[in-house]
Amino acid sequence: MPFERGRPKSGGRKAGSLNQLTVRLRQASLAAGETPLEYMLRLMRDSSQPAEVRGDMAKAAAPYIHPRKQAVDESRSGRITVIVDRSGHAVDVPPALEDHSREEE
């Protein structure tokens, strides 16, 4: 039967389900006892490996361990209160303690 507009989809693969190749690759990886990430980390930590190999493994593994920093939305207008103590370190200021006395109404 041909597709008709307005008729709900029926059959097919469910969203998010894995294809047969992905399932087999995951099973093989688990059977081997070491995931690709574990392999990269092992080589990275192995001091007998050349520095170039260790560096390449660190670069390859980094996205799986350390998330990228997100862009900061600077379109937000407003003041930021920063208090510096005597040692020169910035002190966190809870929003309730910020000075809002000069805000426009």
Sequence letter at residue 26: R
Domain count, the chain: 1
Residue 93 lies in a domain: no
Q: Which long-range contacts (CB under 8 A, 24 or more apart) does 73-81 make?
A: none
Residue 30 lies in a domain: yes
Return d(Cα 63, Cα 72) in angstroms, integer.
Answer: 20
Q: In terms of residue numbers, what domain contains 24?
A: 20-65
Average pLDDT, the chain: 76
Checking if the pLDDT of 100 tops 80, the result is: no
Residue 28 lies in a domain: yes
Kindly tell me the sign of the dihedral angle through the C-alpha atoms of 96, 99, 102, 103: negative
Q: What is the pLDDT of residues 24-66, one digit of tens each?
A: 877 877 787 888 888 889 889 999 999 999 999 999 999 888 8
Q: At what angle do helices 51-65 and 36-45 cross, to 10 degrees?
A: 140
List phi, psi (to 5°) of 21.
-65, -45
Residue 102 lies in a domain: no
Q: Which pLDDT belongs to residue 26?
A: 79
